Amino acid sequence: MSSVPTIAGNCGSLLLGALVAFSLSGCVSLQFAMYWRTYSKDMWQIRSLITLTWMLDIAHSVFVAMGIWDSIIAPNGDFSPEQLDKIPWSLAISGEPAVLITFVAHSFSTYRIYILQRKWILAVLVGTLAFVRLVCASVTAQQMIYLGQYSLLVRPFPGWIITLGLSLSAFIDIVITVSLCHFFRESRKEKCSVTTHRILDTLTKWTLQNGLITCAGATASLICWKTIQDNLLFMGLHFVMGKLYANSLLASLNVREMIRKPCLHNTTGENSQVVILSQDFGMDPSENPVTNSTPSKGMKGRYPIQVNVEHSVVSMVDMNIDVPSDLNATSE
């Protein structure tokens, strides 16, 4: 933004980013509908989380559309450098719903890390960084409204705030992905059934995919922000980032049915190993029968076979998919 802004560099970058963001928003709505069709009996906390994510995504799309209108249509053909450099308030506000989606996704992953590994220090660290990321984005939005010009964003302040926020997004994604993949890999080394190995491989694959996609979006926006100063490509990519996190969160929940089917079908034989996929475990870890290595009363008689599960994985998908540890349930 240090050079003279152009129509292609500013309006073109914003429009292209908005088009991609709207396409991804359609994917979010589709996944939202799929979730309610398949998992309408999930815990109310999970259902509320998904509904909140979808509403934030809609709000983000509305603000992006308003920002594009104010940037391209409202000027009535006035594309002077001064006009192109103006930041519409709607465009500045559009980052708030996106960063709230990011915060929700990171917080959910933080809870999974705690449930899986009981490393509260790591969970607190990731949660703190996610909150700092939220603060950075809020300060950035306030400064965009206050300054009112893209060219002023490269000042030391708020420039370093923008850099810190984008860097934290990528760093948190890396920490979460590495932590979960390390847990699954270490779990796979232990003696367990072929079915459990297959589950761990699937969870690792989905963790890598979700982590790499969101991290790539944040990294690309950061690189464009630091290296390309003559257009708003970083802003267009920032439109997309919020959609990536929303899709990542919804996909990690919707994938449960795909994991569930092969597990429940491999339940024959005297020493068969299966995965208990509970839908009614509490949010509090102390209420989770898996983490306490004690079967809940509600699980008795639910599976007409002997269940001998060697390995414990509370999956990257969410709190509702559990591979209990040393849990033996015998049908009546």
Domains within the chain, CATH numbers bracketed:
7-260 (1.20.1070)
More confident of the two residues 297 and 259: 259
Contacts for 64 with CB less than 8 Å, ≥ 6 apart? 18, 21, 22, 91, 94, 239
Contacts for 148 with CB less than 8 Å, ≥ 6 apart? 86, 87
DSSP codes of every residue in 138-191: HHHHHHHHHH-BGGGGGSHHHHHHHHHHHHHHHHHHHHHHHHHHHHHHHHHHS-
Residue 44 has pLDDT above 80, yes or no: yes
Q: How confident is the model at residue 119 (pLDDT cuts 50, 70, 90)?
A: confident
Q: How confident is the model at residue 117 (pLDDT cuts 50, 70, 90)?
A: confident
pLDDT of residue 302: 39
Please tell me the distance from the alpha carbon of residue 208 to that of residue 101, in angstroms, as a whole number: 20
Please tell me the distance from the alpha carbon of residue 72 to that of residue 282, in angstroms, as a whole number: 49
Residue 66 has pLDDT above 80, yes or no: yes
Amino acid at 167: S
pLDDT of residue 193: 73
Which contacts (CB < 8 Å, 24+ apart) does range 212-221 have?
212/177, 213/244, 213/248, 214/105, 214/169, 214/173, 214/241, 214/244, 214/245, 214/248, 215/169, 215/170, 215/173, 215/174, 215/177, 217/241, 217/244, 218/166, 218/169, 218/170, 218/173, 219/170, 221/166
Lowest mean pLDDT segment, chosen from 8-22, 189-203, 231-245: 189-203
Q: How confident is the model at residue 1 (pLDDT cuts 50, 70, 90)?
A: low
Share of residues in the chain with pLDDT > 90 (%): 52
pLDDT of residue 51: 95
DSSP codes of every residue in 306-321: -EEE---EE-SS-TT-
Compute the mean pLDDT over every residue in the chain, rounded to the nearest whole number.
80
pLDDT of residue 329: 37
pLDDT of residue 23: 96
pLDDT of residue 231: 87
Alpha-carbon dihedral of residues 292, 294, 298, 301, nearest 10 degrees?
150
Mean pLDDT across 225-237: 90
pLDDT of residue 326: 38
Structural contact between residues 299 and 267, judged by C-beta atoms closer than 8 angstroms: no
69-100 pLDDT, tens digit per residue, is 999 999 988 888 889 999 999 999 999 999 99
